[in-house]
Structure 1
Amino acid sequence: MSRFAALDLTTLPAPDAIGVLDFDAILEARLAELDAHLAEIFEAPKVAEIMALARTIAASPMRYLTEAGAARELYVENRINEAVRSVFLATARGAALDQIGANRGVTRKVLDDSDPDTLVREGDEPFRARIQLVIEAWSPHGTEGSYVYWALDADDRVVDVAVYGPNHGLVPAIPPAEPKMVILSSEGDGTADAALIETVFRHCTVDTRRPVADKLTVISATPVPYAIEAVLHVTTPEAAATALAAAEAAVTAFVTNRIRIGRTLYRTSIAAALSVAGVMDVELIAPATDLEIGPFEAPYCTGTALSARSITGGWRDV
């Protein structure tokens, strides 16, 4: 997203109120409690007889009721965990995230309304990012985050925004009060056409959204094409198909997540994404070097070509 300092929600620890779900531990605790209660009523031999049924005879009513009670307790604990997650921006999903967005005046975008009965809405992750970013938009001083928020708000095709000013140390230097905005489109190779650039410019230059002295320039990111070609070394020919399918899905997700302005693309990151289950090693053929991305550029993957080669590891693969 933007280059300003923003809290990475994925690095936050889970709330202390979220408990660990463990059916066996719950069942054992209920059996221990049953044992204690029975000891208050019956003699030890009778208690042992009943507990033997509850612990070892799967078809006994005592065992069935204890397991059913443990399962219901597990469901309740999971429901509590979900309720706790629903109130935090970092962990809320679906309708809960809509409620958090509404509290900050942000609603989920409708990406496709061609069929009124099945509207295609904005996914949780981009929506979560906009909710987090909206606080920046409340500033009347033209912060970097504010420009990013309004650019993303301008059009659904805008997938990334970078805003540069005199403090970014670019060459040539950007003059004070003349911020330069770079936008990346979701269409084609990421190049924003003139109509999209104009839409973003008009949306961001309303006087209530930017300092009146700012002379904003909006340009398109320049795509830097690259292709991914790799040979995946797998343990057996039988594992090749499964590993290739998993690697294809992983590299697709990787490429999508790396559609960012001004972010270098490292070969090690691509190899790591391809190292799925069943892959012993990755021989990355292309790109041949790290892809250096300038402040006004964005990587664009033109295609992927993956193949598998089985290797023999001896007894270690048994």
Structure 2
Amino acid sequence: MSRYSALDLAALPDPSAIVALDFDAILEARLTELEAQLAEVFDAAKVAEVMALARNIAASPMRYLNEAAAARELYMENRINQAVRSVFLATATGDDLDQIGANRGVVRKVLDDSDADNPVMESDATFRARIQLVIEAWSPHGTEGSYVYWALDADDRVVDVAVYGPNHGLDPAIPPAEPKMVILSSEGDGTADADLLQAVYDNCTVDTRRPVADKLTVISATPVTYSVEAVLYVTSPEAASAVQDAAQAAVEAFAAGRIRIGRKLYRASLAAALNVSGVVDVDVISPAASVEVGPFEAAYCDSITITLQSITGGWRDV
């Protein structure tokens, strides 16, 4: 199966202008520079005396001054790093990301405005993905990315979109000019209701957004439900409560991140998510195998049961 895949911005290296922050290296460079400057004015004995204070006497004014100057230089380098990150789509956050979106005509969504003073806004990650996709939306030829963008733009409940055509090799095959769009909802088990499907269809079939020959079909993703049941083995009964909370949070985040159309859920990845700090071994009881997910389906976790069992590791755990 082939799907539209945007460039993975998270995999890009940092811009070369971003430097590593190292207070000790900055301090050492300042002390080296100080020593060189002193050597131009004073004899070697005087230079050694001053540098002994600057390098070795923690309470000396000379040491304090150099540490304070190094700290200020570190703050400045961090500020420069932040300024560099603020202008790139891959690294900008918050208001800086809003500015990049505005340059491309994309505005961050308000997800919940019931509290006028503290509205719930679209996350940086989701907003960044839409900004990246908007270039696809400028195409008048009905690319996958274009359909995905307008589907996401249609309603805040749309969390994932898949668009299939004749080149995706599905069985039965998708006829030419009859793309099929699959929608995953943020509500319930991910099933999109009729109102949401209609909203997406209406937003994607405006004459300026869809090739006139396309006969678009919009359907809901079908949930593939699974439950998580696992036994975690720990050697510290005293820390069991903290381990349980951390494991619960980790598996919830894992399950939420796998609510995607057509994405297989691997049992090994689930075990890795459960292996939080304090866990010695993980026994995943359910699911018994990796969860297969078809091109029109999405995995959905309907329950999580985590049991802790204490084991003795002997002197190695002392």
Name the counterpart of 1:169.
169
Name the counterpart of 2:199.
199
Paired amino acid for 2:289:
T
Name the counterpart of 1:218.
218
Aligned to 2:19, the other structure's residue is in SS state coil
8 Å CA contact 2:161, 2:261 repeated in 1: yes
Residue 306 of structure 1, CA deviation: 1.3
Residue 116 of structure 1, CA deviation: 1.8
The TM-score normalised by the length of structure 1 is: 0.96
Q: Does 1:123 align with 2:98?
A: no
Aligned to 1:195, the other structure's residue is in SS state helix
Name the counterpart of 2:302.
302
RMSD value, Cα: 1.4
| Deviation per residue, 1:30-67 (Å, 9 max, x gap) | 11111111122222222222212211222211111100
Structure 1 unmatched runs, 5+: none
Paired amino acid for 2:110:
V
Moved more, 187-196 or 49-58: 49-58
Aligned to 1:304, the other structure's residue is in SS state strand
Name the counterpart of 2:3.
3
Name the counterpart of 1:80.
80
Aligned to 1:188, the other structure's residue is in SS state coil
- After superposing on structure 2, the runs of 4+ consecutive aligned residues of structure 1 that deviate more than 4 Å are none
Query: Aligned equivalents of 1:238 and 1:75: distance in 2?
Result: 41
Name the counterpart of 2:234.
234
8 Å CA contact 2:3, 2:168 repeated in 1: no
Residue 305 of structure 1, CA deviation: 1.2
Residue 244 of structure 1, CA deviation: 2.0
Residue 152 of structure 1, CA deviation: 0.2
Moved more, 198-207 or 247-256: 247-256
Query: Aligned equivalents of 2:96 and 2:218: distance in 1?
Result: 35
Q: Which residues of 2 match residues 13-92 of structure 1 at below 5 A?
A: 13-92=13-92
Residue 249 of structure 1, CA deviation: 1.8
Paired amino acid for 1:207:
D
Name the counterpart of 1:283.
283
Moved more, 24-33 or 232-241: 232-241
Name the counterpart of 1:267.
267
Name the counterpart of 1:147.
147
Moved more, 145-154 or 232-241: 232-241
Query: Aligned equivalents of 1:309 and 1:88: distance in 2?
Result: 47
Moved more, 276-285 or 140-149: 276-285
Aligned to 1:302, the other structure's residue is in SS state strand
Paired amino acid for 1:122:
E
Query: Aligned equivalents of 1:207 and 1:99: distance in 2?
Result: 29
Query: Aligned equivalents of 1:22 and 1:303: distance in 2?
Result: 46
Query: Aligned equivalents of 1:83 and 1:144: distance in 2?
Result: 34
Residue 74 of structure 1, CA deviation: 0.5
Query: Aligned equivalents of 2:306 and 2:76: distance in 1?
Result: 45
Query: Aligned equivalents of 1:39 and 1:59: distance in 2?
Result: 23
Figure out how many residues of one structure are paired with residues of the other and give that number. 317
Aligned to 2:226, the other structure's residue is in SS state strand
| Deviation per residue, 1:217-270 (Å, 9 max, x gap) | 111111111111111122321232222222222112111111101111110111
Residue 24 of structure 1, CA deviation: 0.6
Query: Aligned equivalents of 2:118 and 2:281: distance in 1?
Result: 43
Moved more, 13-22 or 302-311: 302-311
Query: Aligned equivalents of 1:307 and 1:62: distance in 2?
Result: 58
Query: Aligned equivalents of 1:269 and 1:288: distance in 2?
Result: 13
Aligned to 1:284, the other structure's residue is in SS state strand
Q: Percent identity?
A: 76
| Deviation per residue, 1:92-135 (Å, 9 max, x gap) | 11111111111111110000111222121100000011011111
Query: Aligned equivalents of 1:222 and 1:216: distance in 2?
Result: 19
